[in-house]
């Protein structure tokens, strides 16, 4: 990592970090959210209307910000152009959001896995780059191989929401040799972006089926409307 890379990625101010204090205050300030799915609300609530009607398999969602400026550009640079220093910045912001959240501490951090073809193409899993840094920061073990994503299921394009959700359910599985490591434990699933939530729901469902006691979701950014 270049030790002198101290220009803010967003406002170009020279300082001590790839995201300066002014930009953190402006773009990463906590806002009221649904404690369960992270949806931005007028007032904080343990669960929004959608979560009351159809509770997701995760108990708490922690997110830094809504997906939009400047997070879209930062995440794209991190995801598609490598940029390890951005992984550190994003993991740091996520850690700060975890610190002020009501989510109980997990016993293990698990990245949402990429399908093998995507992993081969990108060369790294951005969720793992976040999870392993968070694990170091928080002193919690991070496990890249416990949750599997065997292969892309049926092509999702052109399918309706319900069909996509059905397809997703079998997209993840717990390594059958390692179920004992999961049994009875609270885990946090880590990802860069939560869009529809379908991926997070499928991964969390697989973890609960695999024996996890509870699953939380930690994401850098969440699309404002699920």
Which residue, 89 or 182, is less far from Zn ion as judged by CB?
Answer: 89
Contacts of 220 (CB under 8 A, 6+ apart): 63, 64, 65, 71, 75, 90, 93, 94, 130, 191, 192, 193
Q: Does 36 bind Zn ion (CB under 5 A)?
A: yes
20 in contact with Zn ion (CB under 5 A): yes
Q: 39 vs 219, which CB is nearer to Zn ion?
A: 39
Q: In terms of residues, how long is the chain?
A: 226
Question: Which residues have C-beta within 8 Å of that of residue 20, sequence separation ≥ 6?
Answer: 8, 10, 11, 13
CB 207 within 8 A of CB 51: no
Single out the segment in contact with Zn ion by CB under 5 A; choices: 8-16, 79-87, 115-123, 175-183. Answer: 8-16
How many residues interact with Zn ion (rule CB under 5 A)?
12
Task: Indicate the residue among 11 and 77 with the shorter CB distance to Zn ion.
Answer: 11
Among residues 18, 34, 97, 182, the one that binds Zn ion under rule CB under 5 A: 34
24 lies in the binding site for Zn ion (CB under 5 A): no
State the helix-helix crossing angle for 71-80 and 126-138, rounded to 10 degrees: 100
Q: Does 51 bind Zn ion (CB under 5 A)?
A: yes
Residues 148-207 that bind Zn ion (CB under 5 A): none
- Is the distance from CB of 90 to CB of 78 less than 8 angstroms? yes
Helices 198-209 and 161-169 cross at an angle (nearest 10°) of 30
Q: Contact at 8 Å (CB) between 38 and 61? A: yes
Q: Which is nearer to Zn ion, 133 or 222 (CB)?
A: 222
Among the residue ranges 48-56, 115-123, 145-153, 209-217, the one whose residues contact Zn ion (CB under 5 A): 48-56
Among 17, 18, 33, 48, binds Zn ion (CB under 5 A): 48
Residues that bind Zn ion (CB under 5 A): 8, 10-11, 13, 20, 23, 34, 36-37, 39, 48, 51
């Amino acid at each position: 990592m270049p030790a002198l890379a101290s220009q803010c990625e967003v406002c170009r101010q020279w300082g001590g970090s790839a995201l300066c204090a002014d930009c953190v205050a402006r773009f990463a300030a906590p806002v009221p959210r649904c404690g369960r799915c992270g949806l931005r609300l007028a007032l904080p609530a343990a669960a929004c209307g959608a979560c009351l009607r159809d509770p997701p398999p995760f108990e708490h969602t922690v997110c830094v910000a809504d997906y939009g400026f400047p997070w879209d550009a930062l995440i794209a640079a991190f995801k598609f152009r490598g940029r390890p220093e951005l992984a550190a910045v994003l993991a740091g912001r996520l850690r700060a959001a975890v610190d002020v959240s009501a989510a109980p501490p997990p016993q293990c951090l698990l990245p949402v896995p990429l399908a093998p073809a995507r992993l081969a193409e990108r060369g790294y899993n951005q969720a793992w780059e976040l999870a392993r840094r968070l694990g170091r920061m928080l002193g919690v073990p991070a496990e890249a191989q416990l949750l599997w994503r065997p292969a892309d299921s049926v092509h999702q394009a052109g399918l309706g929401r319900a069909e996509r959700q059905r397809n997703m359910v079998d997209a993840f599985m717990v390594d059958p040799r390692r179920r004992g490591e999961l049994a009875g434990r609270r885990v946090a699933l880590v990802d860069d972006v939560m869009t529809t939530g379908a991926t997070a729901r499928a991964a969390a469902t697989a973890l609960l089926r695999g024996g996890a006691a509870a699953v939380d979701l930690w994401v850098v950014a969440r699309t404002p409307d699920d």
